[in-house]
Amino acid sequence: MTSDVLIGRRGDVLDITLNRTASGNLITADIGNAIIAALAEVGSDLKLIRLQSNGADFCRGRESPAIDRATARAREFREKIAEPALALYAALINARAPILGVVQGQASGVGCALAALCDLSVAGESATFQIPEMNHGIPPTLVMSVMVGRVPLNAISQLVLTREPIPASRARELGIIGELAPDAGLVAKADAIEARLLESPALSLQAVKEYARLAPGMDQAGKISLAANLISTVLSSPS
């Protein structure tokens, strides 16, 4: 496993720590693949996934593979650019346990998407969020695809088209993150959130994650049926 991301089980928690600090924790294909593999192994006993990073910044984006834009065809761009990012996003969305994001410094591009994908999150007060891809003429549709339904459309357009960074306080208003903490107290706040979640059974936590993932795409009858099925399954399971 690459040392650019540290992944380990700590009791009822799976820690995923971005560790490519010299680059601002730019995501590489190897990092993405390691995270995807770890999330695929999550079982019914895990209560929480904690996504965090070492260094000054949460994640400044992604290190794109070298592609000659003058000669490459659309299929190559899809295979090397789009599919790896979408696979990482899907792994986070479909992870069995809820994900707690702990965000400091810059969260840009893919980093902003990762923060928004977490089921609950806390950011340091000086953290900033940005989607800067249009600075290079690249439409950030991959990032937008995971923010639609989580962030108001006009706010997404504002972030994408102006490319201006926003402070953590504004990111909270938009729903990109859930809570703020003083920079010096960020880890303590995350620890407190973690401790509160660990008071609950793993199956209950996982049921909440599943309902939040599936219910938005259902009609009212489907939402009711899913709610009944999940609570019945949890209550009938051995404690």
pLDDT digits (tens, 9 = 90+) for 104-132: 999 999 999 999 999 999 999 999 999 99
Q: Note whether 150 and 121 are within 8 A (CB).
A: no
Task: List b or e across 165-202, with b for residues whose CB sees 16 or more CB atoms inside 10 angstroms.
Answer: bbebeebbebebbbebbeeeebeebbeebbeebeeeeb
Collapsed DSSP state (helix, strand, coil) of residue 7? strand
Residue 208 clears pLDDT 70, i.e. is over it: yes
Q: What angle do CA 62, 66, 67 make, to 5 degrees?
A: 115
Report the alpha-carbon distance of residue 220 to residue 206 in Å, rounded: 21
- H or E stretch including 181? strand 179-181
Strand bridging mode 48-53 / 99-103: parallel
The DSSP symbol for 109 reads T
Whose tokens are 């999330």? That residue is 39
Is residue 82 within 8 Å of residue 90, measured between CB atoms? Answer: no
Does pTM top 0.85 for this prediction? yes
Give the DSSP H/E element, type plus range, for residue 51: strand 48-53
For 147-151, 185-189, 198-202, which range has the lowest pLDDT when averaged over its residues?
Answer: 147-151
Tell me: the pLDDT tens digits for 6-50? 999 999 999 999 999 999 999 999 999 999 999 999 999 999 999
| pLDDT value of position 128 | 98
What separation in angstroms does the CA of 196 have from each of 95, 97, 123? 20, 15, 17
* Tokens representing residue 86 in the block: 């979408």
Nearest to 197 by CA among 130, 97, 82: 97
